[in-house]
């Protein structure tokens, strides 16, 4: 689902958005996002996996994952948190490394919000890119299908927490 056009922060030329209401409360979505042992379960769309996850949950702290393809190839992602609002919002980027050090090849910044809605959560994940080319590349990599599959896996995990 795309972000409503009245959202002043949304730039359709640079942003990709996944928005859904999921049947688990924000506190469990938060837990799934902020504990390395949980992120390793859901953060890559099966049959991919996450072989490593490091979380230092504070602005300037590290968010690092290593995704593993079904044939064993590994793809590390390293960045830092910009904003941490418990149970409501996480903002992280690969444009900066831990301690706000510039990264050599920035790709996107993620803004993940979790708002209570009924018995569940309105979940919005926005990937903000620096150029239309990066946005298009991310979309071609399977942003919508991949992030949607990961959200399904997150919900499955959250139901067990």
Going from N- to C-terminal start, the domains of the chain cover 15-158
Per residue, what are the HEC states of 8-63? CCCCCCCEEEEEEEECCCHHHHHHHHHCHHHHHHHCCCCCCEEEEEEECCCCCCEE
Q: Which CATH class is domain 15-158?
A: alpha beta
pLDDT in tens, 96-145: 999 999 999 999 999 999 999 999 999 999 999 999 999 999 999 999 99
pLDDT in tens, 53-84: 999 999 999 999 999 999 999 999 999 999 99
Neighbouring residues of 135: CB distance < 8 A, sequence distance ≥ 6: 13, 14, 15, 16, 127, 129
């Amino acid at each position: 689902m795309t972000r409503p056009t009245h959202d002043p922060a949304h730039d359709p030329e640079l942003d990709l958005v996944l928005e859904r209401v999921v049947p688990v409360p924000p506190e469990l979505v938060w837990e799934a996002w902020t504990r390395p042992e949980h992120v390793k379960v859901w953060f890559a769309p099966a049959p991919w996996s996450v072989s490593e996850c490091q979380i230092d949950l504070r602005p300037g702290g590290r968010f690092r994952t290593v995704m593993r393809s079904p044939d064993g190839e590994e793809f590390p992602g390293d960045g830092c948190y910009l904003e941490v609002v418990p149970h409501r919002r996480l903002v992280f980027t690969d444009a900066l490394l831990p301690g706000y050090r510039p990264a050599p090849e920035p790709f996107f910044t993620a803004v993940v919000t979790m708002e209570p809605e009924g018995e569940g959560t309105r979940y919005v994940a926005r990937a903000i890119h620096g150029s239309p080319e990066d946005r298009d590349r991310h979309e071609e990599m399977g942003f919508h299908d991949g992030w949607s599959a990961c959200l399904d896996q997150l919900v499955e995990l959250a139901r067990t927490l």
